[in-house]
Protein backbone atom coordinates (compact mmCIF):
# COMPACT_ATOMS: atom_id res chain seq x y z
CA UNK A 1 0.00 0.00 0.00
CA UNK A 2 1.42 3.43 -0.88
CA UNK A 3 2.48 5.64 2.03
CA UNK A 4 1.83 9.37 2.20
CA UNK A 5 3.88 11.36 4.71
CA UNK A 6 2.92 14.92 5.57
CA UNK A 7 5.40 17.24 7.21
CA UNK A 8 3.37 19.85 9.04
CA UNK A 9 3.39 22.30 11.93
CA UNK A 10 1.10 23.04 14.83
CA UNK A 11 -1.28 25.96 14.16
CA UNK A 12 -0.68 25.83 10.41
CA UNK A 13 -3.90 26.53 8.51
CA UNK A 14 -2.56 25.16 5.21
CA UNK A 15 -1.49 21.99 7.03
CA UNK A 16 -4.97 21.53 8.52
CA UNK A 17 -6.62 21.96 5.11
CA UNK A 18 -4.19 19.55 3.43
CA UNK A 19 -4.67 16.92 6.14
CA UNK A 20 -8.45 17.16 5.80
CA UNK A 21 -8.20 16.63 2.05
CA UNK A 22 -5.79 13.72 2.46
CA UNK A 23 -8.06 12.01 4.99
CA UNK A 24 -10.92 12.25 2.50
CA UNK A 25 -8.77 10.91 -0.34
CA UNK A 26 -7.36 8.12 1.83
CA UNK A 27 -10.85 6.69 2.25
CA UNK A 28 -11.45 6.71 -1.50
CA UNK A 29 -8.01 5.62 -2.72
CA UNK A 30 -6.45 3.62 0.10
CA UNK A 31 -3.03 4.69 1.29
CA UNK A 32 -1.19 4.85 4.60
CA UNK A 33 -1.07 8.37 6.03
CA UNK A 34 1.69 9.51 8.40
CA UNK A 35 1.90 13.01 9.86
CA UNK A 36 5.21 14.32 11.14
CA UNK A 37 5.56 17.55 13.09
CA UNK A 38 8.41 19.29 11.31
CA UNK A 39 9.55 21.13 14.44
CA UNK A 40 9.43 18.24 16.93
CA UNK A 41 9.70 14.91 15.15
CA UNK A 42 11.39 15.43 11.78
CA UNK A 43 15.02 14.56 11.17
CA UNK A 44 17.32 17.61 10.89
CA UNK A 45 17.76 17.25 7.12
CA UNK A 46 13.97 17.35 6.58
CA UNK A 47 13.67 20.35 8.92
CA UNK A 48 16.31 22.20 6.94
CA UNK A 49 14.85 21.27 3.55
CA UNK A 50 11.17 21.90 4.33
CA UNK A 51 11.36 24.75 6.86
CA UNK A 52 9.51 27.33 4.73
CA UNK A 53 7.40 24.95 2.63
CA UNK A 54 4.87 23.33 5.00
CA UNK A 55 2.89 21.32 4.45
CA UNK A 56 5.13 19.06 2.40
CA UNK A 57 3.67 15.82 1.07
CA UNK A 58 5.80 12.82 0.22
CA UNK A 59 4.70 9.64 -1.52
CA UNK A 60 6.82 6.63 -0.53
CA UNK A 61 9.62 8.96 0.57
CA UNK A 62 9.59 11.21 -2.49
CA UNK A 63 8.45 14.85 -2.25
CA UNK A 64 5.45 15.31 -4.53
CA UNK A 65 3.71 18.48 -3.30
CA UNK A 66 3.96 21.46 -1.01
CA UNK A 67 1.48 23.99 0.39
CA UNK A 68 -1.67 22.28 -0.92
CA UNK A 69 -3.04 19.02 -2.25
CA UNK A 70 -3.43 18.66 -6.00
CA UNK A 71 -6.07 15.92 -6.03
CA UNK A 72 -5.75 14.95 -9.69
CA UNK A 73 -1.97 14.70 -9.46
CA UNK A 74 -2.13 12.70 -6.23
CA UNK A 75 -4.61 10.21 -7.67
CA UNK A 76 -2.43 9.80 -10.77
CA UNK A 77 0.72 9.25 -8.69
CA UNK A 78 -1.07 6.78 -6.42
CA UNK A 79 -2.21 4.75 -9.43
CA UNK A 80 1.36 4.68 -10.75
CA UNK A 81 2.69 3.60 -7.33
CA UNK A 82 0.20 0.74 -7.24
CA UNK A 83 1.49 -0.72 -10.52
Distance CA 49, CA 39 (A): 12
pLDDT of residue 83: 75
CATH of domain 3-81: 3.40.30.10
pLDDT digits (tens, 9 = 90+) for 49-74: 999 999 999 999 999 999 999 999 99
List pLDDT tens digits, range 26-45.
999 999 999 999 999 999 99
Spell out the residues 6+ positions from residue 55 whose beta carbon is closer than 8 angstroms to its own.
6, 7, 8, 12, 14, 15, 18, 19, 66, 67
Domain locations along the chain: 3-81
Amino acid sequence: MPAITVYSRVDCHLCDVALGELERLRIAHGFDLHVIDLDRDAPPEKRAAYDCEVPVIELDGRKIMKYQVDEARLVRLLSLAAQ
